[in-house]
Chains A and B, each alone.
Chain A
Amino acid sequence: MGPQHPSTHGVLRLLLQTDGEVVEKAQPHLGYLHRCAEKISEHLSYTQFTPYTDRMDYLASLNENWAWCRAVEKLCDLEVPPRAEYIRVIVGELNRIASHLIALGTHGLDTGAFTPFLLAFREREEIMTIFEAVCGARLTYNYIRVGGALWDLLPGHIDLILRFVDQFDAKLDALNDLLTNNHIFVRRTANVGVITREQAIEYGFTGPNLRASGVDWDLRRDQPYSVYPELEFSIPVGKGEKGTVGDSWDRYWIRVEEMRQSNRMVRQAIEQLPPGPHCGAVPRVLKAPKGREVYVSTENPRGELAFYIVSEGKTIPYRVKTRAPAFVSLCVIEDLWTNIFVADLVAAMGSLDIVMGQVDR
């Protein structure tokens, strides 16, 4: 199956060993989207690498930018002004919504529902419009920079964001009516691709996939960074409402609920948005202290995205390693999902929300 296949979400190749309709073993083959991003970073300055992070997870570029910038800021002891932090939360959470919308839409598409996919894209389009107004790009933003954000959020942008935030909950309800509670969809996803609490922890799951398995863990609350402590939000955890805890439906549902929470956060962040500079003072030539190593993890829409940077005291990093949550999610396919239907494999894989750009880097 793949790499050219409608439901492998990019260029994943799965080697299927089947007995009729039943998949006995599915072995993922990676590397079709490998672009040596980590190696490239060893030849670029800290600020120059930001656009490369855009291309890793192209559905949540801002969160990827943010993770990189946080790692660099910790490495070089840079201060980020409060307004910049709020701007980061606003655009980061909006991008999380956009990313989850795609995850849900394509998951619906994998189970054969075409309309929710396009409705999700309609909502995402509004977020794209906001981002286009804010930073001029629609997919690879390169907007969050080391020390802050590239441009300030202007009142016009805030109006656009508020207009989106106000109507978004109602749109989610419509999506629930159409797909989430659809009997066929529930039958297709509940009890399918179950990942238990122990298995999720064992495999190093993070983010929505971990929470769907019933583990209450979110970096935004448990290792707070940026201005998340100031915001009020709850962490949805999978309860197995339609079947078992940690099934595909739970992973789907967690994302729906997370979008609601993100929406709440955006609204609060806009209300609290302080005046001030949108970018801190960053030296033109950024040099990290010699021999310092940092590991900074950030809550990405797909889970815990971490950058591990080793510095030699030059303007370029000595070594960069990315901990990609989608890569971790991909690992379960081979081990846990054996002897299931082809259709179940597709539905369960869709619920993992894998982005090959992040897996292969």
Chain B
Amino acid sequence: MYSALYQLLYSTLETLLNIPFWLFGSHVPHWLVFIHVSLILGGVCMMGFITVLALFSVWAERKVSAYMQARLGPMEVGKYHGWLQTAADAIKLLLKEDIVPAGSDKFLFLAAPVLVFSGSMISYVVIPFGPHLKIADLDLGVFYILATSALVVVGVIAAGWSSYNKWSIYGGMRAASQYISYEIPTALHLLPAVLMAGSLNMSQIADSQAYYLGDPSQPFYKDFSILNWAVWPWINPFATVSFILYFIASLAETQRTPFDLAESESELVAGSHTEYSGIRWSFFFLAEYADMFVVSALGTVLFLGGWHGLPLIPPVLEFLLKALFLMFVMMWLRWTLPRLRVDQLTYVCWKVLLPFGFVTILGSGLWQLYLVRTPAGWVAGTVLMAVLLLAMSRIWKSEPVPRDGEMTAAAASA
């Protein structure tokens, strides 16, 4: 059936693309048709996946928040716990009036949601959902995702600037500074996993975690590679720290609480997309959830073994479960934590995440050289992590804030 579909698509495109060639008496080359077929198939698949994912995760977010807040959440549409509510909302958004505020820069205003959404959509090209389920197997996969996610900034600034609204411009500027600062720690904290895998290719990174105790020839162990994920302290404790800090940085990358300053509704109404309505607004929304999945998928591939790990679970399902679990943690945090202030946000980035990034890169590199997958390494890693956790639990109390508020003063003068 699939090949019939492919054949149909191929022959249709071949006929269409052949028209200009036919005028010159030649025939369209195979590679040109093939590129178009893959573009359309990939685009349709990505769009479909993102839409379904966003519909599901918005519904899940509402249910999670409702559960945490002693409410029910949507219960009516679709009979079973309101599972069709977001679909109904999407239809409503499609039908709503598309308002362009007077005084706005119309071209940028209309283009911004497209920029934002395409920035997060093209990241899906390199995400390996399973051993063979990926659109492109780029050798620079991780680098590519980092690069494309930077595209989102352009759209957000454009939205903030073009809206002709004070809150929008505030949101846009905040988002810009936030994206740009947090790009760096995000990338730094991905590097230990890249170091361990020795590759930037997403599939190879996932496969590098697939073997148990150094015997790659035994397929049986492959299924039980859960103990071999890069995240575990007995493999490399620095990668464990990196994973946690990467997750924190990725919260900021996706503008989730406690780093949702760019759209903090108590200060900036809705940030850069204050003035948007209808389908354009829903593109921002879609992009947010698409971004959440991208960073979760990246964490899953680099640290949680991608689709490897548990026996008896199909790889694609396992990958989705892990990524969706990370998304759940994001929702969990969102409905638990208050929001940071601007100066605290940059403080966390430059004075906490960044130095720790250097430490973890250096540390994991040395660990990789001398201790990885040796009995001494297993013991030392576990002990080191246990000591670290113990120390954390000791200092994990909210101490009095320093009286002079040097942080505030420093940021205010800057």
Which residues of A are at the interface with B, using a C-beta cutoff of 8 A? 5-7, 21-22, 108-115, 118-119, 122, 178-179, 181-188, 190-191, 241-244, 339-344, 346
List residues of B (121-156) whose CB comes within 8 Å of A's CBs: none
Residues of A contacting B30 in the complex (Cβ-Cβ under 8 angstroms):
none
Q: Is B296 an interface residue (CB 8 A)?
A: no
Please, which residues of chain B bring their CB within 8 A of the CB of A112? 257-258, 260, 264, 266, 337-339
Contacts of A243 in B (CB 8 A): 400-401, 403
Residues of chain B in range 32-90 having any CB-CB distance to chain A below 8 Å:
65, 68-71
Per the 8 Å Cβ criterion, residues 354-403 of B in contact with A are 398, 400-403
Report the Cα distance A200→B408, complex, angstroms: 23
* Residues of chain B with a CB closer than 8 A to A181's CB: 398
Q: Shortest CB–CB separation between residue A240 and chain B, in angstroms?
A: 8
The answer to whether residues A115 and B260 also contact, given A243-B401, A343-B341 and a CB cut-off of 8 A, is no
In the complex, the answer to whether B398 meets A182 with C-beta atoms within 8 Å is yes
3 smallest beta-carbon distances between A and B, as pairs: A112-B339, A113-B338, A118-B69
Query: Is A119 a contact partner of B70 (Cβ separation < 8 A)?
Result: yes
Q: Are B68 and A186 in contact (CB under 8 A)?
A: no
Which residues on the A side are within 8 Å of B341 (C-beta)?
187-188, 341, 343-344
Contact A184 B339, CB 8 Å, known A7-B267, A109-B266: yes
Q: Is the CB of A114 within 8 A of B398?
A: no
Whether, in the assembled complex, B340 has its beta carbon less than 8 Å from a beta carbon of chain A, the answer is yes
CB–CB B264/A343 < 8 A: yes
A-B pair count, CB < 8 Å, reads: 102
Task: Indicate if the CB atoms of B340 and A6 lie closer than 8 Å.
Answer: no
Does the CB pair B71–A342 fall under 8 Å? no
Closest to A350 in B: B266
Q: In whole angstroms, how far apart are the Cα atoms of A243 and B68 in the complex? A: 30
User: Can you list 7 contacts pairing A with B, beta carbon distance less than 8 Å?
Assistant: A110-B266, A112-B260, A119-B70, A187-B344, A187-B401, A191-B401, A342-B267
> In the assembly, what is the distance between CA of A15 and CA of B261, in Å?
21
Give the interface of B toward A (CB within 8 A): 65, 68-71, 170, 174, 257-258, 260-261, 264-267, 269, 335-344, 398, 400-403, 405, 408, 411-412
How long is the Cα–Cα vector from A241 to B261 in the complex, in angstroms? 27
Contact A186–B401 (Cβ < 8 Å):
yes
User: Apart from A183-B398, A241-B400, what are 9 other A-B pairs with CB-CB below 8 Å?
Assistant: A7-B267, A108-B338, A114-B65, A115-B65, A119-B69, A182-B338, A341-B411, A342-B267, A343-B342
- Please state if B343 and A190 are interface contacts (CB–CB under 8 Å): no
Q: Within the complex, what minimum Cβ distance (angstroms) separates B138 from chain A?
A: 37
Chain A residues whose C-beta falls within 8 Å of the C-beta of B267 in the assembled complex: 7, 342-343, 346
Tell which of B265, B267, B337, B411 has the most Cβ of chain A within 10 Å: B267
Cα-based distance from A22 to B335 in the complex (angstroms): 28
Our pick among A109, A113, A122, A242 for the contact of B337 (Cβ within 8 Å) is A113
Of all chain A residues, which has the CB nearest B404? A191
Q: Which residue of B lies closest to A194 (CB)?
A: B405
Establish whether residues A184 and B266, one from each chain, have CB atoms under 8 Å apart when the complex forms: no
Among A22, A114, A244, A339, max chain B CB count under 10 A is at A114
Q: Could you tell me if A115 and B266 are in contact, using CB atoms closer than 8 angstroms?
A: no
Instruction: List chain A residues, Cβ under 8 A from B343.
Output: 341
- Pair B403/A191 contact, Cβ less than 8 Å: yes
Contact residues in B for A6 (Cβ distance below 8 Å): 265-266, 269
Q: How far is the CB of B258 from chain A (nearest CB, A)?
A: 6
Q: Is the CB of B405 within 8 A of A114?
A: no
The CB with the most chain A CB atoms within 10 A, among B71, B260, B266, B411, is that of B266
Report the bound CA distance from A191 to B407 in whole Å: 11
What A residues does B65 contact at CB under 8 A?
Answer: 114-115
- How many whole Å from B386's CB to the nearest CB in chain A? 23
Partner among A5, A187, A241, A344 whose Cβ is within 8 Å of the Cβ of B269: A5
How many Å from the CB of A123 to the closest CB on chain B?
A: 10
User: Closest residue to B265 on the A side, CB-wise?
Assistant: A6
- Find out whether the CB atom of B170 lies under 8 angstroms from the CB atom of A342: yes
- Contact between A190 and B401 (Cβ–Cβ < 8 Å)? yes
Specify which chain B residues have a CB less than 8 angstroms from the CB of A190 in the assembled complex: 400-401
Taken together as a complex, chains A and B put the C-alpha atoms of A182 and B397 apart, in Å, by: 9
- Inter-chain contact A184/B269, CB cutoff 8 Å: no
* Contact yes or no, A115 B335, CB < 8 A: yes
In the assembled complex, which residues on chain B have CB atoms less than 8 Å from the CB atom of A183? 398
Q: Assess the B342–A21 pair: CB atoms within 8 A.
A: yes
Q: How far is the CA of A343 from the CA of B259 in the complex (A)?
A: 13
Q: Within 8 Å CB of B398, what residues of A?
A: 181-183, 186, 242
Chain A residues whose CB sits within 8 angstroms of the CB of B338 once the complex forms: 108, 111-113, 179, 182, 184-185, 188
- Interface-central residue, A5, A109, A119, by most chain B CB under 10 Å: A5
Q: Nearest Cβ in chain A — how far from B314, in angstroms?
A: 35
Q: Which one of A111, A242, A339 lies within 8 Å of B401 (CB-CB)?
A: A242
Q: How far is the CA of A166 from the CA of B343 in the complex (A)?
A: 42
Q: Is the CB of B337 within 8 A of A182?
A: yes
CA A242 to CA B344, docked complex, whole Å: 17
Chain B residue numbers with a CB within 8 Å of A108 are 338
Residue of B nearest to A21 (CB): B342
CA distance A242 to B400 in the complex (A): 4
* Residues of chain A contacted by B170 (CB below 8 angstroms): 21, 342
How far, in whole Å, are A169 and B408 apart by their CA atoms in the complex?
35
Cα-based distance from A190 to B398 in the complex (angstroms) = 11
Q: Bound state CA distance, A208 and B185, in angstroms?
A: 43
Provide the residues of chain A in CB contact with B260, threshold 8 Å.
Answer: 112
CB pair B335–A114 under 8 Å, yes or no, is: yes
B174: which A residues are within 8 A, CB to CB?
A: 21
- In Å, the complex CA distance between A184 and B344 comes to 9
Output the least CB separation between B374 and chain A (Å): 38
Most chain A CB within a 10 A radius of its CB, from B261, B269, B339: B339
Residues in chain B near residue A187, CB distance under 8 A: 340-341, 344, 401
Chain B min CB distance to A116 (Å)? 9
Contact between A244 and B403, CB atoms less than 8 A apart: yes
